[in-house]
Structure 1
Amino acid sequence: MRTYRIRHQTAYHYERRVTSSYGLYHLVPREDARQHLLGHRIDVDPVPSDRVTDVDVYGNTRTWYHVTEPHTDLVIIGTTDLTVAAQTVPVEALALPWERCRPEQRRDIADWWRAVDLTLPSPRVDVLPEVAGYAAPSFPPGRPVGEAVEELNRRIHADFAYDPKATTVTTRVGEVLRIRAGVCQDFAQLMVSCLRSVGLAGRYVSGYLATVPAPGQPRNIGADATHAWAGVWIPGADWYDLDPTNDRPVDESHATVAWGRDYSDVAPVRGVIFGDGGGSSMKVSVDMAPLEVSTFPAP
């Protein structure tokens, strides 16, 4: 188990003053068996006149905000101290034939129905014939699900180049498959599409990756921004998360914020402005640094 302080800053600048900004953010990491929050706060400048927090259908914390003070700059900073442990999935669960992990075939599992939604196409994850063709070699009949998804994870890492200039936030799965390049969001959504193409439940996970790797480990790819990875539902063992960008299962260097069908469910910050605004720019910076002891609240 490791302790971290995460600082996530999103800064918008507008060439002309806007009258108000209305938006939504997912910036509170999840509290679960793998993670424990030691402290969390979100600072918005200008201060919103209205802010409402609730929990969505997947259990993610989300906050709606409305800034009514005219402004040319909007800054949102999330600061979190938390402990993170490695995920644990029973070996016998990963040894199940992958066909036996399809939610529709596991009505003997109490929560099977919760995973069904994540077997279907979603707004940003198309389930295409060409994706099914790419996924198929990893899923021969009877193969243990752990071996199958780990090989798929490894293949995506090997076959696709990490290139922040190759795609945008709106790039579709089919285009990523064609150009064989993208960023963590693209690789996670591609892996989710592959899982769904064979009838497995795949979830898109948004979070952070430690900016300082463990001693002797290579630098993490994608650690200088928000990160994303994919999870597969394992009957009786919850979820098994894998990071195709870095070719490994999720471990204690990954902090989970939210999960859903795809990026559109869990975007860290999004919104609209009222007024002309002219041109605009956005800068995002993320730091997930190890702590010896939490001293929250942060200075």
Structure 2
Amino acid sequence: MSAARRYRVLHRTVYVYSDAVTSSYGRAYLTPREFAGQQLLSHDIRVDPVPSDRSVGTDVYDNTTLYFHVTADHRRLEVTGESVVEVRRAPVAAAGQPWEQARPTHENGPLAVEFTLDLVPPEIIDEVAAYAAESFPPGRSLLAAVTELNTRIFTDFTYESGSTTVSTRVADVFAARAGVCQDFARLGIACLRSLGLAGRYVSGYLATDPPPGKERMVGVDATHAWAAVWLPDGSAEGGWLDFDPTNNQFADERYVTLAWGRDYADVPPVRGIIYTDAKESTISVSVDVAPLSA
């Protein structure tokens, strides 16, 4: 188990409209998850203007979500999540079994089977399946195969900020050989699913301070995304191994997990519906992940 690291996370989203908004419904995935490797020490979400109605619940993947409804006329909406989390990651699992043995079934991994399914519209194209197969020859260990796939995506694809949108298809990213962190996570997941493996999309953050001797990593001071592959461990759920194709590494104590699902569309940080005559709007997002003394 690695040493614990504690962070204060401030995630602010500001919408500005050219005309008054009379009603705004929002849903925010801004509450970091709690699990064996991460503890949520404090948390608050502030919405300005103050909502007339708000409630907290969980989705089908047990992510915590905030629903809110602002009824006061406004031209500016600000949603700010502030959290203190402690991250203590276990060493990368051995995952020494042949990768074929990590295909979940309704007997050995009933909760993971859903994560083997392709999306609609499909993301698993022939080119993606062929690309994945290069790293997964018969009998190879799951860890070795995922390690190589992680490195190949990092090497073969170029990080280009602004080159894609949240609706960009994996096929387009594959053809352009460029994208951002969420694209590379989704590509890695499509590769896993093409082989019958379970792939999970993870949203979160990277800590802003690199450890001694390490270079500053791509994706800091912004939301980040990575992938996870299911590991059978004899239990009904198994475990998950998080890997980051954007930075060619497995997730460690610098990774703060917000939420997870099958795809980005399951866990966007903030989304909603507004009623307005405004013809124009802008959105700005700022993220700060500051280390604290544990």
Return the TM-score normalized by structure 1. 0.93
Contact 1:29 1:256 in 2 (8 A): yes
- Residue in 2 that maps onto 1:45: 48
Contact 1:132 1:197 in 2 (8 A): yes
Structure 1 unaligned regions, length at least 5: 294-299
Distance 1:253 1:240 in 2: 15
Match of 1:23 among 26, 45, 57: 26
RMSD: 1.2
Q: Check if 1:153 corresponds to 2:150.
A: yes
Match of 2:37 among 29, 34, 37: 34
Alignment of 1:258-273 (within 5 A): 258-273=259-274
Relative to structure 1, the CA distance from residue 152 to residue 124 in structure 2 (aligned partners, 3 Å threshold; closer, same or farther) is farther
- Residue in 2 that maps onto 1:291: 292
- Residue in 2 that maps onto 1:182: 179
Relative to structure 1, the CA distance from residue 146 to residue 133 in structure 2 (aligned partners, 3 Å threshold; closer, same or farther) is same
Match of 1:163 among 160, 163, 169: 160
Paired residue secondary structure (2:31): coil
Distance 1:124 1:35 in 2: 34
Structure 2 unaligned regions, length at least 5: none
Match of 1:213 among 201, 210, 213: 210
Contact 2:93 2:241 in 1 (8 A): no
Alignment of 1:1-299 (within 5 A): 1-91=4-94, 94-104=95-105, 107=107, 109=108, 112-123=109-120, 126-236=123-233, 237-293=238-294
Distance 1:146 1:186 in 2: 22
Contact 1:195 1:202 in 2 (8 A): yes
The residue identity in structure 1 corresponding to 2:126 is P
- Residue in 2 that maps onto 1:296: none
How far has the Cα of 1:123 moved from its partner?
4.1
Contact 2:209 2:290 in 1 (8 A): yes
How far has the Cα of 1:165 moved from its partner?
2.4
In the TM superposition, what whole-angstrom CA distance separates every residue of 1:172-203 from its partner, at most 9, and x where no partner exists?
A: 00000000000001000000000000000000
Relative to structure 1, the CA distance from residue 84 to residue 124 in structure 2 (aligned partners, 3 Å threshold; closer, same or farther) is farther
Paired residue secondary structure (1:135): helix
Distance 2:40 2:82 in 1: 11
* Aligned length in residues: 287
Paired residue secondary structure (2:146): helix
Distance 1:124 1:206 in 2: 21
Contact 1:51 1:64 in 2 (8 A): yes
In the TM superposition, what whole-angstrom CA distance separates every residue of 1:124-153 from its partner, at most 9, and x where no partner exists?
A: 761111110111110000000000011101
- Runs (4 or more) in structure 1 with deviation over 3 Å come to 87-90
Distance 1:224 1:213 in 2: 12
Return the TM-score normalized by structure 2. 0.95
Paired residue secondary structure (2:197): coil
Percent of residue pairs bearing the same amino acid type: 54
How far has the Cα of 1:206 moved from its partner?
0.4
Relative to structure 1, the CA distance from residue 67 to residue 125 in structure 2 (aligned partners, 3 Å threshold; closer, same or farther) is farther
How far has the Cα of 1:90 moved from its partner?
3.7
